[in-house]
Chains A and B, each alone.
Chain A
């Protein structure tokens, strides 16, 4: 029992089944990421002035990742063309490049970009206590220049002051898990010593008025922050830290899962495609075409939406 139009196109639509199905699926994907991005818009518009961070992302690395994805979209088309021209060797080569580039994208995301954030620390200061930290905020000057006040001190966490059984102890911190361990043991964190980012080491320098494309590197200057002055969250740049990071990790995470899905499918076609190619090369070419169509969507989503929205704005 054969299903019609699996390989050849139906005359009135000009499409074979899988291509039509993929376009439909992509329509639903537009709605999925559209839902997430409307969430982003909603949250950003609803944020109080000064509470939506900028300059938290590494733009050069992000740009590099963008270029990788664009090239992989091109190589997958060459791979498909090779199949249409019945050049199996060329297909294998270009499909391999596509797969490697996609894996590189994920590696950079998971070993550079995300961990860079997990190591970064941020503390929101209560508005009524902000005056105490004026040396880091420089809010007087910001008010004069017409910019919203700063509310958060960011940098790398060096030490915490832990209170346990009435005794205060200063503990050197290498990673956040040590802090959660301290809390689980019954200590209460009463102070944070943070090696601040350049903005807070020199807050009145106009160069810091606008976000930089380069990722902030903590300075030597240490700020001591009392737990009583902490507004909502004192912690690493986890999704729970702020709505910005929540939506960033969710969207890049979901996008990353889609990249992974693409890698799985491409790898399957690379490893096991020869049998179908021998039986019905046009069918094999169609499969790669449809997967490539999906890949272009994932790519386009990154280039047109994820990258500009998060990295450039």
Chain B
């Protein structure tokens, strides 16, 4: 097994700045996701949450700052190599391989760790067959059981409900044998029951699989229930961080989400922002 499973990874984002043209999506963002913990990134729409995720997974290259996975700078590492180092992610809008079955989707998650040359594939012997075998066992016995998707394994993903598709995406990410898992809005658009299932899975991933989790989410109930540490972004800056209860009590956070509540103060705040 060439995978990197076993030890949870910790991730540090140091002073990351990202600009699109003249717009600064991130302004010197720093935070850490501790090994074996669930860290949540919250903030109003447009705060830069998904931008941070895209920097971490390598889709965007920050104009300044460093991203450290277990103290190694991965800023110049390509996304497939980041995957091989144990970084897996899910997407805000489900990004499954439509037209393929659930099982095929999950198998593709193992791609990062497989080493089979074209020649082997022609001969279809030796390592290719063993790898395939090993993969199948692992996939079937562990992930599918764990996520309770046995009954749909041979169905094309496009016919599944939204909640199940999210679950398949999690399964594919787990098949990558990650040491840290980035979840972009794992329960967005889910009903109460689906959300509770997903919360249970996320907690189990942390505890039974020993994977660190960094997630972006809007569902405050979920965040207060399961996360160990919360980071609040607003306009591309970290405005608060700490344990869920601390963050909830922070007046800056309430203001970022709701405004101050007083229309006069709100007008004043808008005027201040316009002046900047």
- Our verdict on whether A and B bind, yes or no, reads no
**Chain B: residues with CB nearer than 8 A to chain A?**
none
